[in-house]
Structure 1
Amino acid sequence: MILRIRLLLYISVICLLILSSTFFLPYGFSAIHEGWSATFWLFISNTGGTIGVPLITLLFCILISMHYKGWKSKLLVITGALVVFSLVLGVFARLNEFFIKEQLKVERPNIIFLHETMGFDNEAFYSIESKDERRVFIEDFFNGQLSQVILFDDEPLHSKVIRHWLHETGYSFPSGHSVNAFLMAMLMAYIILFIYSDFRRRLFFALPLVWATLVALSRVILGVHSPIDISLGAALGCLMAMLIISTRLIDTQLTPKDAVT
């Protein structure tokens, strides 16, 4: 277990260092104009959202179940893993969105940009409690005052980025995508290290953390989060995962007695 934790700590530090580069490199708002870049980063961001995370979780649980013999064992592993992931991710997602963010009330970078450059009333926007009503408020602003043309650095925004901004109407800190992606990735990486003993397959433990890093970066690149939002969010996700791992719950539940040899 100590070796597995060391490996996780090493790669998580590398990932956090990569995210810290957003403080001094021009990542912010760098993929919001027309072109393949915006489409690519929107896709990456969506994999860490409300649709992407459940799909990735289900796929991962199915892949892990292949390590066990018999349909009964496979179904138990899939069901158990889905329940655990759903509870852990779901509880914190709601805690973050409806309590932590609402207490800290940090405005999103794209809202600050609209306020400073186009006169968007950010105070009126955030005074609205319902996110659906906030979405209507900002959509009316786009359609009414800007004639559906929104410029950043004298170039129009990608229409998909505009729709993304319309969807992201909550507060900014910490980044829920970053927290959930790193929490999920750390648990997945540990499970891979726990189940597989051969070096070649164990190397795949890095893939979930590469994905989580890209998801976090996408939030800054699309202008909906700041560097501190994603860096501290990712660190919080890693910390929560390590606390769960330290309970040895994963070790006891993923017993190798039914494993494929």
Structure 2
Amino acid sequence: MILRIRLLLLISFICLLILSSTFFLPYGFSVIHEGWLATFWLLISNTGGTIGVPLITILFCILISMHYKGWKSKLLVITGALVVFSLVLGVFARVNEYFIKEQLKVERPNIIFLHESMGFDSEAFYNIESKDERRAFIEDFFNGQLSQVIMFDDEPLHPKVITHWLHETGYSFPSGHSVNAFLMATLMAYIILFIYSDFRRRLFFILPFAWATLVALSRVLLGVHTALDISLGAAIGCLVAFLIISTRLIDRHLMPKSVDA
């Protein structure tokens, strides 16, 4: 177990170093204009959202079950893994969205841009409690701008980015996508290291972290989060995952008894 923890600490530290580059490099709002880059990074971002995370979770649970023999064992593992992932991710996502963010009340960078550059009333926007009503408020604002092309750095915004901004009506800090992606990635990587003993297949533990890093970066590139949002969000996700791992819940309930620890 100690070796697995060390590997996870190493790769998570590397990922956090990569994310820290967003403090110094001009990543913010860099893929919000017309073109394929906006579409690509929106796709990456959506894999860490309310649809992408459940789909990836289900797929990963199915992959876990393939390590077992017999359909009953496979079904039990899929069910157990789904319950664990759903509870952990669901509970913490709601704590972050409805408690932490609401207490800190940090405005999103895209809302700040709209306020400073286009006269959007960010104070009135955040005074609205309902997210659906906030969405209607900002949608009315965009509809009122149809007489002119919405620009950023003298280039038009991609229509899909505008649609994405319409759905990001909560507060900014910490990034929920980053928290969930790194929480999920750390748990997945630990399970991969637990299941496989050969070096070649163990290297697959890097893939969940690569995915989580891209998801976190996409949030800055799309202008909906800051470097601090994603960096601390990723760190929080890793920390929560390590706390769960330390309970040995995964070792006892999800893994085959025949696997060497």
Give the corresponding residue for 1:43. Answer: 43
Map 1:136-147 → 2, pairs under 5 A = 136-147=136-147
Q: CA RMSD in A?
A: 1.0
1:93 corresponds to which letter in structure 2? A
Give the corresponding residue for 2:119. Answer: 119
The percent of aligned pairs where both chains have the same amino acid is 88
- Work out the CA distance in 1 between the residues paired with 2:25 and 2:6: 29
Give the corresponding residue for 2:249. Answer: 249
User: 1:146 deviation in Å?
Assistant: 4.9
Structure 1 unaligned regions, length at least 5:
none
Give the corresponding residue for 1:60. Answer: 60
Contact 1:73–1:258 (8 Å) recurs in 2:
no
Give secondary structure in 2 for the equivalent of 1:129. coil
User: 1:27 deviation in Å?
Assistant: 0.5
Q: Deviations over 1:50-78 (max 9, x none)?
A: 00000000000001110000000000110
Contact 1:105–1:173 (8 Å) recurs in 2:
yes
Contact 2:81–2:254 (8 Å) recurs in 1:
no
- Work out the CA distance in 2 between the residues paired with 1:178 and 1:147: 36
Contact 1:68–1:258 (8 Å) recurs in 2:
no
Give me the TM-score of the superposition, normalised by structure 1. Answer: 0.97
Give the corresponding residue for 1:82. Answer: 82
Map 1:1-261 → 2, pairs under 5 A = 1-147=1-147, 149-257=149-257
1:137 corresponds to which letter in structure 2? F
Contact 2:16–2:234 (8 Å) recurs in 1:
yes
User: 1:49 deviation in Å?
Assistant: 0.3
Residues 190 and 155 of structure 1: is their aligned pair in 2 closer, same or farther, counting only changes over 3 Å?
same
Give secondary structure in 2 for the equivalent of 1:212. helix
Give secondary structure in 2 for the equivalent of 1:68. coil
Contact 1:142–1:148 (8 Å) recurs in 2:
no
What is the aligned length?
A: 259
User: 1:255 deviation in Å?
Assistant: 3.8
User: 1:256 deviation in Å?
Assistant: 2.4
Higher mean C-alpha displacement, 250-259 vs 105-114: 250-259
User: 1:145 deviation in Å?
Assistant: 3.7
- Work out the CA distance in 1 between the residues paired with 2:126 and 2:84: 34
Higher mean C-alpha displacement, 92-101 vs 248-257: 248-257
- Work out the CA distance in 2 between the residues paired with 1:113 and 1:25: 18
- Work out the CA distance in 1 between the residues paired with 2:111 and 2:64: 41
- Work out the CA distance in 1 between the residues paired with 2:160 and 2:16: 28
Q: Deviations over 1:12-54 (max 9, x none)?
A: 0000000000000010000000111000000000000000000
Contact 1:65–1:77 (8 Å) recurs in 2:
yes
- Work out the CA distance in 1 between the residues paired with 2:115 and 2:236: 30
Give me the TM-score of the superposition, normalised by structure 2. Answer: 0.97
Contact 1:186–1:208 (8 Å) recurs in 2:
yes
- Work out the CA distance in 1 between the residues paired with 2:130 and 2:121: 16
User: 1:258 deviation in Å?
Assistant: 6.3
